[in-house]
Amino acid sequence: MPEWFRLDNAATIFPGQNTGAWSNIFRFCVELKENIDPAVLETALKTVMPRFPGFDVMIKRGLFWYYFEKNPNTAPDVCPDISNPCHRVKFNENKRFLFRVYYHGGRLSVDTYHAITDGHGAAVFTCTLAAEYLRLRGADIPAGGFVLDLSEKPSAEEIEDSFRKNANSRGKLKRGGRFVYHAKGTKLPRHMLSITSGIVDFDKLHSLTKPLGVTVTEYLAAILLDIHIRKQRAEKRKQKEVCIQIPVDLRRAFNSSTMRNFTLCLRVVVDPNLGEYTFEELLNQVALQLRLANDPKKLNAMMTANMGIERNPFLKAMPLPVKNIGIGISFLITGEQTTTSLLTNLGKVTLPAEMEPYVEKLMFMPGPGMRNGARCGVTTYGNKLVVTFADLYEETDIEREFFTFLVRNGVHVKIESNRN
């Protein structure tokens, strides 16, 4: 494996957006049925690290770009969990690693800086770590699904920049959008967040969505749209568009096995000024907009447009400090202004059958936004689908309405929260 490599296309903007108030960090958890022994977890982490060269890095500043370099340290420290997960990353802390490993009871959590990977890559890393931990505790866990074989060497495809490899479209798609509605509230102290998880029966939820001809992701996105539209209307102010951002994993569409970033964000937009929308009409809007955008040729055009900064000769020659100023200003002006909220669904995570007796559930949570309240992460293991909100506001009305909607439609929800 190389001693250094470039950031992938999605990652190039994140260091310039990294501030004292915010970093793009998210969390993936594996909850085991037994309490975690931190000494064993630390050994497992050191064993797993060589299999993931994309995690075994520190970030360095070049003249024109940031780049990754192999971290001389073996692994970050394993720490008891904290009350403010997904807090900002500082490049010179944590032995200069860009992810953190926590434990609490049976819960193994990994907070990951988005520059090194996306939700899929973090899930594979965390599940592989959990499997190795269980092996050290005496379980016979083979590789399979989201658990990589530690006896295999990492392939070149696993650390490739799949954006650079696949972005070859001649088409051009319009990027960005109008400034949209944002729910407001009482902000929590910096680096603190409200976490609310709802655990539901996947089969029950799927039996609700299937007759409607929509996916679970489309159904949940429509609920978020409906809540924000009604919330804005009740505020009796100028009505703006409501936009839900939905990341899409590109690996299947482009036959990629990269463990780095390979997602694009699609946008579902509804303008309340056009009239009242029933929930069924919102479902149709979500399904139509997502399916129209989620086409390999259009996705390739979006990728190619995103590669413009890297491929522009003028911008390539611009010194890194100047690039950072430009990215920082752009993020302050437009970052999250065109998005009301985010819904990211990892889908079904598969583990070896031998792990099933040891695993209670999985959880995926985006970090809080700068303006977006109640950002939502979803993952499914077995028949448990877990919806987790990360909110920077004290008010939890969006989360409450979301889960109440499911209950009213016959889907039982078990709530867990870090709130009293």
Q: Of the candidates 345, 342, 386, which has an alpha carbon nearest to the alpha carbon of residue 202?
A: 386
Q: Of the candidates 369, 397, 400, which has an alpha carbon nearest to the alpha carbon of residue 185?
A: 397
CATH 3.30.559.10 assigned to 4-156: yes
Strands 99-104, 107-113: pairing kind: antiparallel
The alpha carbon dihedral of 115, 116, 119, 122 has a sign of negative
Res. 332 pLDDT band, cuts 50 70 90:
low
**Per-domain residue ranges for the chain?**
4-156, 194-417
- Would you state the pLDDT for residue 1? 58
Which pLDDT tens digit goes with each residue over 364-375? 999 888 878 889
Number of C-beta neighbours around residue 330 at 10 A: 13
The CA-based dihedral angle spanning residues 149, 154, 157, 161, taken in that order and rounded to the nearest 10 degrees: 120
Report residue 206 as tokens: 């799927």
Number of C-beta neighbours around residue 272 at 10 A: 18
Q: Of the candidates 18, 84, 127, which has an alpha carbon nearest to the alpha carbon of residue 349?
A: 127
Strand positions, DSSP E, 136-288: 194-201, 242-249, 263-270
The domain defined by 194-417 folds into: Chloramphenicol Acetyltransferase (3.30.559)
**What end-to-end distance do the CA atoms of the chain give, in Å?**
47
Order of all β-strands in the sheet with 242-249? 263-270, 242-249, 341-348, 375-381, 384-391, 194-201, 413-417
Which pLDDT tens digit goes with each residue over 98-145? 999 999 999 999 999 999 999 999 999 999 999 999 999 999 999 999
Q: At what angle do helices 216-234 and 202-209 cross, to 10 degrees?
A: 80
Which pLDDT tens digit goes with each residue over 176-222? 678 999 999 999 988 889 999 999 999 999 999 999 999 999 999 99
Are 4-156 and 194-417 the same fold in CATH? yes
Strands 99-104, 78-80: pairing kind: parallel
- Is residue 11 within 8 A of residue 261, CB to CB? The reply is yes
What ranges in 343-419 are assigned the alpha helix state H? 397-408
Which pLDDT tens digit goes with each residue over 47-96? 999 999 999 999 999 888 899 999 999 999 999 999 889 988 999 999 99
